[in-house]
Amino acid sequence: MWPDLIKKAKEGGLDAIETYVFWNAHEPLRRQYDFTGNLDLIRFIKTVQDQGLYAVLRIGPYVCAEWNYGGFPVWLHNMPGIEFRTANKVFMNEMQNFTSLIVDMMKKEKLFASQGGPIILAQIENEYGNVISSYGDAGKAYMNWCANMANSLDIGVPWIMCQQNDAPTSVINTCNGWYCDQFTPNNPNSPKMWTENWTGWFKNWGGKDPYRTAEDLAFSVARFFQLGGSFQNYYMYHGGTNFGRTSGGPYITTTYDYDAPLNEFGSLNQPKYGHLKQLHDVLHSIEKTLTYGNISSTDYGNSVSATIYSTNDQQTCFFGNANTTTDATVTYQGVKYNVPAWSVSILPTVNTQTSKMVKVSNKAENEPIALKWTWMPESVHETLVHGKGEALPATFLIKRWLMMLNYGPNFDEIRTGLPGPIEIIGEKGDESIMKDLSNHTWTYKVGLDGFNTKLFDNAHDKTTFKAPLGEEPVAVDLQGLGKGMAWVNGNSLGRYWPSYMEEDGCSAEPCDYRGSYDNSKCVTNCGQPTQRWPISGIKFASFGNVQGVCGAFQKGTCEAKNDVLSLLQNACVGKESCVVRASESSLGLTSCDSNTTKRLVVEAIC
């Protein structure tokens, strides 16, 4: 899927692709490396280059990313005397070995920009500033060592450290977060850079489905560039899937959709993808002015401001309104401009109000954006698999899902399992009986019961299905099962747990994009399995010679006489899938002549 995803990213207005490098995937056993198949890092970077884009290589090698063990290989934990992410010689030697390996591979293929390649930045460590205080002086020594070690590799492009406000000035410190417009680098000669603009949030088993509105995300980007930003990256632009056992803990789902502009299946997540594309087009049109222009600012009070970028041949204005409730009117050069609450308006030239980055007019939008939209331009096939599942209520009390933690100070020393105390409480009539099991010997059985019961045997708990024609993504729905792991043709898809549902906490009211966002603000999917996408509405439905493309469909000159929209709403809303026959017998006679090709077109909101 790499070429298609990168192509869509470029068409969406991106200039560069960021990627982590996962140490545990590339060195699963000490000094035994794997760069084959989906782990072919060089091929990935060259694919980015072939599309005419730049690359940012976030080597880490600690990555977090809700990835198992934060990207560290498990064998690292078992090395005598090792301590992770601190001034520890054993750890630093292994980290330097892997970092040097990656750099040497890129140099050999001439992939750094200094060699004519696409890699314009490289990252060492990752968000260490969030935990450095827990390591004391050893943490500061380690941070300085990281910078010195990285610079000694002489790659010819800058090294960055994200979330590291006290980073040595030999590297560029950058910002991660929902908003970075107020961020200032610790070196006045460094550019203002944003390595992670969180487009949504990850999901936990049994958790709600967080989403971030397109308006708020676009506002954060426009605000960042209004206030002097030079580089901004989306985390994630495409989240994808945590295949196998790659998802970290606690309880990170197999899906890593992240409400990104490209959804888990690589399809356009509208209106977010299109909304950002409009913003990117405007920013590209003024990039020369943003890069070389002189800057002047005016504060109008009440969180309203204007920023002017001027060159000899062009002047660009940003009008920002960070007030969460009140619209503003800004008068500039005798002209009044309306600036809605929580928005940025951009005037590429002073005399024309070309683009308002929040509440962009769109022919496909006849109502305010309220729910997360998941349009599927491609036909993503869903295969239902039903079978036996594990009963949860009794067993969940005495075991934990053994994902390895991925974040926090000294996370490698935190044991998995139940922290205790362990108590069983029962009732006998009106009397409560409590049994404390904390002092009992607890062990975790190595292996899976499936090996003893021969679940791998073709005759037991296996099913087959015919793969749809073509090379489009295929979604496997495991609603008929309880909890476990799934394989297709010997390839591990990852964990499933559809029986663990979020009960409450979702609001029936549309989520207001205005005001600071966090992952608890806008949520859906309460009372539903964690990794399913029920249909919450039908945006458009017509049977006839429909015109346009997804996101901008229009009824044609002939269509069914019946109310197709109401029919689809009744048949599909609230369900994970629905089937409607595309025929006149099902949808009603049309006024189309016999030479007209008729089709049923539906846009569903998930």
> Are 254 and 241 contacting, i.e. CB atoms less than 8 angstroms apart?
yes
Q: What are the beta bridge partners of residue 343?
A: 321
Catalytic residue (choose from 127, 215, 502, 603): 127
Which residues are within 8 A (CB) of 327 and not within 5 positions of it... i.e. 6 or more apart? 321, 338, 339, 340, 341
492 forms beta bridges with 487
- Is residue 109 within 8 Å of 134, Cβ to Cβ? no
Q: Which two tokens stand for residue 226?
A: 């209004």
How far is 122 from 155, CA to CA, in rounded Å?
A: 9
> Residue 207 is encoded by which pair of tokens?
């958790």
529 beta partners: 501
Which of 221, 223, 194, 192 is closest to 305 using CA atoms? 223
Position of tokens 């006839």?
544
Catalytic: 196? Answer: yes
Tell me the C-alpha distance between 357 and 340, whole Å.
10
Buried b (16+ CB within 10 A) or exposed e, 367-381: eebbebbbbbeeebe
Q: CB–CB of 109/117 below 8 Å?
A: yes
Determine the Cα–Cα distance for residues 3 and 10; give it in Å rounded to an integer.
Answer: 11
Whole-number Å distance between alpha carbons of 404 and 202? 16
Number of Cβ within 10 Å of residue 313's Cβ equals 7
Is 127 noted as a catalytic residue in this protein?
yes
Amino acid at 75: W
Residue ranges with strand state E in 418-574: 423-428, 431-436, 474-480, 484-488, 491-496, 523-524, 537-544
Q: How far is CA 605 from the centre of its chain?
A: 19
DSSP secondary structure letters along 512-549: P--S---TTTSEE-TTSBTT-----EEEEEEEES-BS-
Which residues carry out catalysis?
127, 196
